[in-house]
């Protein structure tokens, strides 16, 4: 097909996930698969481990590692945490803090915390340092701040420095503090089988306390308390809802799939976003759901059946090799494998597991996947021509750099999600 300029959208999730929408067309681009799964998080892999939900394919965060982890699990118990405007209960993930709390190591944590906030304020208003007679260089102040943040919040110094340089120092501190707070369990109503109000009534009768997440979503519910496993109720097993993080609703809302379109979810398992797309398409058209790993496709298929979708075709392939194997597409969702640097609240191990090398390596894979997605979309589609790119990382390498690469190498443009 003749190349043409495709439409593109830029949208954003909450902090854990950045997303951009791009639309395009062009020739197929084939790449090679990456075997380094240990470094990659699948953004569609949510937080079963974090929430205590175990169920055969629940997707708490479709959210955001390549492969990330959304909410797949096997029916089990749920430990629900209270959530309030302050972000919920603070969990100490720093090894130093843990030793202090257990009495194994004395430390003046208040002094460390005060140094952190003083240094951040100083870096934000460097002229003040001269007025106060502070003779340290800016790099010396930053180096001390990196060490204190690493000690207090439990990050490797490399990652702490990365965030302190990427954000303004005071914003970085707010980011570190936010990652110490628990997130509420959220679920998405399946409008193919239930209405949100009736689902709320059914769950309330089972002593599950729920409320709407907010005015921005008509299907989301926040779970405050539950006397029963949320991943094993008759309503869950009957496909009336999916356990899914609220942030992972956003890429699908930005994609805005229409009835009778041909759509691809490029990294689909365990199926939270896939089933939301099918729900919005009202079981019309064709929805291709692909994932690289065979074992994850089992959860994907299980969720598709449980949620009552009949327009889904599941494939198990390297996403970079999908070009030329599928018909021209109206829309593609690429919720890309990533480092998971935006989901530290859910996976504290990222604090010491990830670094700039991971961001760079994952970025190369993401660029190949996004270019492949662009090449598969029909820029002349009457209703579509859009790609949504999202990750559960906050690194520049995995977000802005990937989108910039697509803009330079393909005939695409960024568009607001309001223009779809």
Residues 321/323/327/329 CA torsion (nearest 10 deg): 110
SS3 270: coil
SS3 136: coil
User: CA 286, CA 311: separation in Å to the nearest integer?
Assistant: 5
Contact in structure between 72 and 57 (CB atoms under 8 Å)? yes
User: CA 389, CA 214: separation in Å to the nearest integer?
Assistant: 24
For the chain, helix (H) and strand (E) counts, in that order, are 15, 14
Strand partners, 90: 181
User: CA 46, CA 184: separation in Å to the nearest integer?
Assistant: 13
Half-sphere exposure at residue 416, Cβ-oriented, CA atoms within 13 angstroms? 2
Contact in structure between 411 and 26 (CB atoms under 8 Å)? yes
Residue 392 annotated among the catalytic residues of the structure:
yes
Q: Which of 339, 353, 315 lies closest to 394, judged by CA? A: 339
SS3 11: strand
Exposure class string for 41-64: b at 16+ Cβ within 10 A, else e: bbbbbbbbbbbbbbbbbbbbbbbb
User: CA 156, CA 352: separation in Å to the nearest integer?
Assistant: 5
Rounded alpha-carbon distances, angstroms, from residue 238 to 187, 192, 228, 242: 14, 11, 16, 10
Contact in structure between 379 and 4 (CB atoms under 8 Å)? yes
User: CA 18, CA 20: separation in Å to the nearest integer?
Assistant: 7
User: CA 87, CA 160: separation in Å to the nearest integer?
Assistant: 22
Which DSSP string do the residues of 49-97 spell out, in sequence order? HHHT---TT--TTS------B-S---S---------TT-S-B----HHH
Among the listed residues 149, 297, 338, 392, the single catalytic one is 392
Token couple for 68 = 């990330």
The residue with tokens 């089988």 is: 193
Residue 133 φ/ψ region, left for φ over 0, alpha for ψ in the -120 to 50 degree band, beta for the rest: left
Exposed, middle or buried by CB within 10 Å (0-12, 13-18, 19+), for 92?
A: middle
Q: Active-site residue numbers? A: 392
């Amino acid at each position: 097909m003749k190349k043409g300029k495709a439409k593109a959208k830029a949208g954003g999730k909450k902090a854990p996930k950045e997303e951009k929408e791009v639309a395009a067309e062009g020739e197929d681009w084939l790449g090679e698969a990456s075997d380094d799964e240990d470094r990659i998080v699948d953004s569609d892999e949510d937080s079963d481990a974090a929430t205590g939900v175990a169920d055969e394919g629940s997707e708490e965060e479709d959210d955001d590692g390549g492969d990330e982890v959304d909410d797949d699990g096997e029916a089990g118990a749920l430990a629900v945490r209270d959530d309030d405007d302050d972000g919920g209960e603070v969990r100490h993930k720093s090894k130093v803090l843990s030793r202090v709390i257990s009495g194994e190591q004395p430390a003046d944590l208040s002094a460390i915390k005060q140094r952190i906030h003083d240094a951040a304020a100083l870096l934000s208003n460097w002229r003040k340092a001269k007025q106060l007679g502070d003779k340290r260089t800016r790099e010396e102040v930053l180096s001390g701040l990196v060490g204190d943040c690493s000690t207090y919040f439990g990050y490797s110094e490399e990652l702490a420095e990365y965030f302190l340089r990427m954000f303004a120092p005071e914003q970085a501190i707010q980011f570190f503090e936010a990652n110490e707070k628990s997130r509420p369990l959220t679920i998405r109503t399946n409008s193919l089988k239930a209405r949100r109000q009736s689902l709320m009534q059914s769950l309330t009768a089972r002593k599950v306390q729920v409320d709407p997440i907010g005015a921005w979503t008509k299907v989301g519910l926040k779970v405050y308390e539950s006397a029963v496993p949320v991943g094993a109720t008759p309503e869950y097993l009957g496909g009336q809802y999916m356990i899914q993080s609220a942030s992972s609703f956003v890429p699908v809302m930005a994609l805005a799939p229409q009835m009778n379109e041909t759509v691809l979810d490029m990294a689909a398992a365990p199926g939270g976003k896939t089933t939301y797309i099918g729900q919005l398409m009202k079981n019309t058209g064709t929805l291709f759901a692909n994932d690289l790993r065979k074992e994850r496709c089992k959860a994907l298929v299980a969720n598709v059946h449980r949620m009552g979708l009949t327009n889904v075709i599941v494939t198990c392939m390297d996403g970079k090799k999908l070009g030329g194997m599928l018909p021209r597409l109206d829309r593609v969702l690429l919720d890309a494998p990533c480092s998971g640097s935006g989901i530290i609240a859910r996976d504290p191990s990222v604090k010491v597991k990830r670094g700039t090398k991971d961001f760079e390596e994952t970025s190369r894979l993401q660029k190949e996947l996004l270019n492949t997605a662009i090449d598969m979309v029909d820029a002349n589609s009457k209703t579509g021509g859009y790609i949504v790119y999202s990750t559960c990382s906050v690194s520049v390498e995995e977000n802005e750099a990937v989108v910039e690469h697509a803009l330079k190498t393909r005939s695409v443009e960024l568009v607001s999600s309001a223009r779809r």
